[in-house]
Amino acid sequence: MLEVEGLVAGYGGSPILRDVSVRLAAGEIVGLLGANNAGKTTLINCLSGIVQPMSGRIVFDGQDVTRATARERVELGIIQVPEGRLVFPEMSIRENLLLGGFCDRARPHRPAQMDKVLELFPRLKERLTQAAGTLSGGEQQMLAIGRGLMAEARILMLDEPSLGLSPLFVQYIFEIIDQLHKSGLTMLLVEQNLNLTLRHAQRCYVLERGHVAVEGEADLVRSDPRTRQAYLGL
């Protein structure tokens, strides 16, 4: 469904990602792991069109989207749930969700999609008129995921969904990720939490200082000594 080939990308002419190749098949959860500053967010930002790569190719569903705008990618269903949630704090939960479904493709289906999202997150349903900024971190993460689903994501890219959450909320968010997987959604899961990601993803890539150090089925990545080396910076 998504193929990234030889991606080089960075900031101000200095590359951060060096020759990164990644692929996702339809319906897979693929984990993107790595220590701080490995380049995980830079890669996800390249996929959503926020960062323009210096070279390489991004193909989604057979279509070259390397130079497509962020908006065009949203219309194709490439949806990012950003690190730190980035909900609109002054707006209500309902308004945040409606904004998620604002693209041309999703707008006509917003009422039905809203029902599905609220069924998935009953906690949001109870608080529809509440300002998003007053939600707890875990609830904001639910809202950020719900907002991504409102865009009728074909591939949902979750950037550190467990960051800063209590263990109970982390468990809940991963249960939701499993449910979405069962419904057939393709997901790229960017995480620092190695064990949790290896448990939920089918395949993983471990980024180390901008290049792919290890890749493969979750079990192989778990037992590969290079995975821990990449994490510990050895």
Whether residue 65 contacts residue 76, with contact meaning beta carbons closer than 8 Å, is answered with yes
Q: Least distance in Å: CB of 53 to ligand ATP?
A: 13
* Count of alpha carbons within 13 angstroms of residue 190, beta-carbon side: 24
**Contact predicate 57/82, CB 8 Å:** no
Rule CB under 6 A: which residues touch ligand ATP? 11, 16, 34, 36-42, 192
> In terms of CB distance, is 13 or 225 closer to ligand ATP?
13
Residue closer to ligand ATP by CB (options 36, 129) is: 36
Nearer to ligand ATP, 19 or 95 (CB): 19
Q: Minimum distance between the CB of residue 7 and ligand ATP, rounded to whole angstroms? A: 12
Rounded Cα–Cα distance for residues 181 and 29 (Å): 7
CB of 43 to ligand ATP, least distance (A): 7
Shortest distance in whole angstroms from residue 131 CB to ligand ATP = 27
Minimal distance, residue 139 CB to ligand ATP, in Å: 22
Give the nearer residue to ligand ATP in terms of CB position, either 42 or 113.
42
DSSP code at position 134: G
Please, which residue, 36 or 195, has the CB nearer to ligand ATP?
36
The total of other beta-carbon atoms located within 10 Å of residue 182's CB is 9
Could you tell me how many helices (H) and strands (E) the chain has, helices first? 10, 10
Q: Dihedral of the CA atoms 73, 6, 192, 68 (nearest 10)?
A: -10
| SS3 call for 184 | coil
